[in-house]
């Protein structure tokens, strides 16, 4: 898939081919910046940026969804470190590559699935510091929710990268990026070697930490995949968001700021 995705398409063929691809995958062509003929290969189209000013940040500070995927599961990290996502049991020790809770007890674990039609870059959910990264090698099985419901334990057997972070108040949290079928690589602008081959079990500490502002791009997937967010426990009620596509949707309200309206439109 990697070579095919990077195969250069003659410009004269691009409009009709990309129109067909967009229709087949459900990509809204109106959300694609520029002209379809500007995209030389499938990967460039798939990892396209957002349209300028198409996703303004809320006026008040809040904790945002880091990706435009669909919220397919959420659970609480318990002292025992075990919980269930869509009928599949997991333990924190096996899901997190380093097996460390790192102050995440009582946190909410949110599984956000990115389908092929979704915008595939992910962004900082708040002003944050990236403290460390853990790389775990593994398979590249599909992460479609219909398959994970059948107890395919892809969240612990697929390639994944864990980022340990803290927000501007010093509150720790974690972001887990899970590879999927055809997703051989992930890229992270703050560390250009992270997510690239060869995939071996490694960890790295950032001293000083990498600083990112809310909404700033953190990285991208090369095909449909999953983000698991270990978010602070002061979450809004997530039941109303089950199955919805999150597009910078506020997940944590700002207790001192005005209420914001969730944007649950597709990317």
Three-state DSSP state, 250: strand
Catalytic residue among 61, 68, 118, 144: 68
Cis previous bond, 198, omega within 30 = yes
The tokens for 170 are: 């010093």
Task: Output DSSP code: residue 39.
Answer: -
E strands present in 139-249:
160-167, 172-178, 186-187, 202-212, 217-221, 225-231
DSSP string, 61-115: --EEPSSSSEEEEEEE--TT-EEEETTEEEEHHHHSTT---TT-TT-EEEEEEE-
C-alpha 68/C-alpha 115 separation (Å) is 9
What span, in angstroms and rounded, lies between the C-alpha atoms of 238 and 141? 27
Catalytic residue among 65, 74, 120, 123: 123
Check the CA dihedral 227-232-233-237 and report its sign.
negative
Q: Nearest Cα to 139, choosing from 149, 120, 154?
A: 154
Tell me, yes or no, if 225 is annotated catalytic. Answer: yes
Active site residue 123: yes
Of 32, 68, 67, the closest CA to residue 51 belongs to 32
Element spanning 235, H or E:
none
Annotated catalytic residue within 61, 65, 115, 225: 225
What tokens were used for 76?
Answer: 């609480």
Is there a catalytic annotation at residue 266?
A: no
Query: Which sequence positions are flagged as catalytic?
Result: 68, 123, 225
């Amino acid at each position: 898939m990697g070579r095919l995705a990077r195969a250069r398409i003659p410009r004269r063929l691009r409009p009709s081919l990309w129109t067909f691809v967009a229709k087949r995958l459900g990509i809204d062509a109106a959300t694609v910046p520029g002209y379809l003929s500007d995209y030389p290969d499938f990967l460039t189209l798939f990892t396209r940026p957002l349209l300028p000013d198409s996703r303004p940040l809320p006026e008040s500070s809040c904790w945002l969804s880091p990706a435009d995927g669909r919220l397919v599961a959420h659970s609480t990290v318990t002292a025992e470190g075990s919980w269930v996502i869509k009928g599949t049991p997991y333990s924190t020790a096996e899901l997190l590559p380093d097996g460390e809770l790192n102050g995440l007890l009582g946190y909410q674990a949110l599984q956000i699935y990115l389908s092929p039609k979704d915008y595939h870059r992910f962004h900082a959910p708040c002003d944050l510091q990236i403290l460390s990264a853990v790389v775990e090698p593994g398979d590249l099985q599909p992460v479609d929710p219909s398959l994970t419901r059948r107890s395919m334990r892809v969240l612990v057997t697929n390639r994944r990268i864990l980022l340990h972070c803290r927000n501007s108040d010093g509150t720790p949290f974690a972001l887990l990026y899970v590879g999927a079928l055809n997703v051989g690589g992930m890229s992270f602008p703050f560390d250009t070697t992270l997510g690239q081959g060869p995939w071996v079990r490694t960890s790295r500490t950032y001293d000083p930490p990498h600083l990112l502002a809310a909404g700033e791009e953190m990285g991208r997937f090369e095909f449909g995949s999953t983000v698991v967010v270990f978010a602070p426990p002061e979450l809004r009620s997530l039941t109303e968001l089950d199955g919805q596509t999150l597009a910078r949707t506020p997940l944590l309200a700002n207790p001192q700021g005005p209420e914001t309206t969730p944007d649950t439109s597709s990317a």
